Amino acid sequence: MNQRFLNTQGIILKRINYKDADKILTIYTKDAGKISAIAKGIRKINSKRKSHLELLNHVKMHLIKSGDMYIVAQTEVISTNPNIRGNLEKTNLAYYITEIFEKIIVDEDQNDILFKFLQKTLKILNESSDITFVNGFNLKLLKLTGFYSKNKIEHFPNEIKEHFKQLEIMKYEDILNIKPDYMLAKTAHEILKSLTEEILEKSLKVKLFI
């Protein structure tokens, strides 16, 4: 998308300090996909937009294209997912989810399905914290992006293959009703993490507290 001005909504995936008072944000937007944007002056104590552009926030925004990046001009918060921010376990799961999403999605590839998928993921996680739900997210994201195929798990035990089949075919919100034993959920996580790192050709930084 090459337009100079962009009115959209987006979810904050990543923030990096830049210069004395700015941050570079990685945002997954509804209308332009994954983009980078500079939030000028956001690290100043009196910045009015500081709370608007926290990680995981869903924000309405006006952006101005400048070179290879955008500049954040105006913001309005849609959702802050407050239950995630106030809970260490939820925060850990959310950071893991957003790291995978941010790394696996290519820049400026607009996709309504992926935007709604990420939005729903954070909404559900805001209400519940569950490693099996995160496993469902991981598998469904790999499938949505074309990286998942059944032949990748053919050599695993039947118990794992049946569990992955459940995660694949069930409605997203219904995954919370699956209650596998701890070792099955942990093994499923380790397999999906390994598959994801193989695709990315790099290790994930966030480690789950499981």
Please report, for the chain, the start and end positions of each structural domain, with discontinuous segments joined by +.
5-79, 82-200
pLDDT 10s digits, 103-115: 999 999 999 999 9
Q: What is the pLDDT of residues 40-71, one digit of tens each?
A: 999 999 998 889 999 999 999 999 999 889 99
3-state secondary structure of 125: helix
pLDDT digits (tens, 9 = 90+) for 115-170: 999 999 999 999 988 899 999 999 999 999 999 988 888 899 999 999 999 999 99
What residues pair up with 5 in beta bridges, in sequence order? 64
Strand duo 22-29 + 58-66: pairing: unpaired
State phi, psi for 62 to the nearest 5 degrees: -110, 125
Q: Which token pair is 45?
A: 């104590």
5-79 is classed in which CATH architecture? Beta Barrel (2.40)
The helices-and-strands tally (H runs, E runs) of the chain is 6, 5
Whole-number pLDDT of residue 210 = 79
Q: pLDDT band for position 3 (50/70/90)? A: confident
Could you give the percent of the chain with pLDDT greater than 70?
Answer: 99
- Provide the 10 A C-beta neighbour count for residue 188: 25
pTM: 0.94
Mean of the per-residue pLDDT values of the chain: 94
pLDDT given at position 2: 60
Q: How confident is the model at residue 1 (pLDDT cuts 50, 70, 90)?
A: low
Return the SS3 of 24: strand
Decide if domain 82-200 falls under CATH 1.10.1790: no
